[in-house]
Amino acid sequence: MSSSDTLTTQHAHAEDIPPSQVIPHLLQELGDHHELNIAFTTSDVLPVVLYDGGKWHFYRNTHTMEQAGAYRLVKGHIVRAADGGSPTLDLSVTNLVVFQWIGMLVVLTLFFVAGRRYRRDPLAPPRGIQNALEAIVVYIRDEVVRPNLRSERLVRRFMPYFVGLFTFILVLNLIGLLPGMHTATGAIGTTAALAITAFLVINGLAIGEIGIKGWLHHLLGGAPVYLAPIMVPIEILGLFTKPFALTVRLFANMSAGHIILLSLIGLIFYFRSIFVAPMSVGFSIFIYLLETLVCFLQAYIFTILTAVFVGLALGDHAHEHDEHHATA
């Protein structure tokens, strides 16, 4: 029996799960899977890509991989059949990777539609999705990017990044609230990748604007040179704690709400009493509405913190650079 068949059988016999295992069974659905779980269906259609033993291994899905005999799926993780060890590198397409692709497709489609309307009639008043996206772009520009970068040149240059960052996180968050869907930002790998890109933008932009010498001098934090042995290690530590904080904050907040929701629903099956249902459903609706707010809030927090960190890395240099060009 393949891993997908096993998972389907578990769902089919959910009523046979002991009460003490109901909530853990529900919570395990929050994690990533090598099967595609979408709209309450499970399909073993995702390719497996492994690098192990100095060569690449490609399989059409986990069922084909297990039939080959070299690897097997144990508790959602791919291990070697011979010794139970993990492969050197697992680049398989997983369930949450697919949801990231869905998020990218949604964002690109929305902006393509809005952009086409602008090109068709630039002077027409925005409406529908075009109006909503324009409101988001203007808000991100005026309330997030411009106050922190303080340079119109940099604002125009990096607006696509900040708008894309906000809309991508927001779409991933909202997709997870749809029935039968999953939240890709509830995986630490997704939030870590977003934080790493923010780390590269923050420090890459700072080095590009103030130069490597100015960036290294910025590590002093404004302190005298003789305090470098103390200040430089602290500032270097700060460089890495910022993306770490971005990673954990988004991951923890998006996971917490879903854990509470599933736990509340699980109480109905745990106690197996209809009298528990009104309380569980009522609290679940409240948490669901709160999660909708959190989706917008966490996208905003991640974006504005990235902009703040960029502004701190630049200092007053970018503003002074614009003033110099204006005077010239």
Using DSSP, state whether 96 is helix, strand or coil: helix
Using DSSP, state whether 59 is helix, strand or coil: strand
Let me know whether 88 and 105 are in one domain: no
Residue 220's identity, in one-letter code, is L
pLDDT for the residue numbered 54? 92
pLDDT for the residue numbered 324? 45
Residue 184 phi/psi, 5° resolution?
-65, -30
Q: Write down which residue in 65, 92, 119 finishes a domain.
A: 92
- Classify residue 84: in a domain, yes or no: yes
Residue 130's identity, in one-letter code, is Q
Q: CA angle at residue 259 from 253 to 262, to 5 degrees?
A: 145
Let me know whether 281 and 183 are in one domain: yes
Query: Structurally, how many domains does the chain consist of?
Result: 2
pLDDT for the residue numbered 12? 43
Let me know whether 141 and 285 are in one domain: yes
Strands in 96-210 per DSSP E: none
Give the chain's largest Cα–Cα span: 78
Instruction: Please check the confidence at residue 117 and state whether its pLDDT lies above 80.
Output: yes
- Classify residue 214: in a domain, yes or no: yes
Please give the residue that has the higher pLDDT: either 323 or 147: 147
**In the β-sheet with 55-59, what is the strand arrangement from edge to edge?**
55-59, 48-52, 89-90
Which domain, by its residues, includes 176?
A: 97-327
Let me know whether 149 and 53 are in one domain: no
Buried b / exposed e over 8-24, threshold 16 CB at 10 Å, is: beeeeeeeeeeeeebbe
pLDDT for the residue numbered 183? 92
Q: How far is CA 41 from CA 37, 106, 111, 142, in A?
A: 6, 21, 30, 43
pLDDT for the residue numbered 287? 92
Mean pLDDT lowest among 112-116, 151-155, 279-283, 324-328 = 324-328
H-run or E-run covering 77: strand 77-80
Looking at every residue in the chain, the average pLDDT score rounds to: 86
pLDDT tens column, 171-203: 999 999 998 899 999 999 999 999 999 999 999
Let me know whether 54 and 126 are in one domain: no
Q: Write down which residue in 92, 119, 147 finishes a domain.
A: 92
Across 31-45, 163-177, 226-240, the highest mean pLDDT is recorded for: 163-177
H-run or E-run covering 90: strand 89-90
Q: How confident is the model at residue 322 (pLDDT cuts 50, 70, 90)?
A: low
Q: How far is CA 207 from CA 152, 213, 313, in A?
A: 18, 8, 9
Structural contact between residues 35 and 191, judged by C-beta atoms closer than 8 angstroms: no
Let me know whether 79 and 212 are in one domain: no
- Residue 12: alpha-carbon gap to chain centroid: 31
Instruction: Please check the confidence at residue 242 and state whether its pLDDT lies above 80.
Output: yes
pLDDT for the residue numbered 215? 83
Comparing C-alpha atoms, which of 123, 158, 109 is closest to residue 137? 158
**pLDDT-above-70 percentage for the chain:** 87
Instruction: Please check the confidence at residue 8 and state whether its pLDDT lies above 70.
Output: no
Let me know whether 195 and 75 are in one domain: no
Q: Write down which residue in 60, 77, 92 finishes a domain.
A: 92
- Classify residue 291: in a domain, yes or no: yes
Let me know whether 62 and 178 are in one domain: no
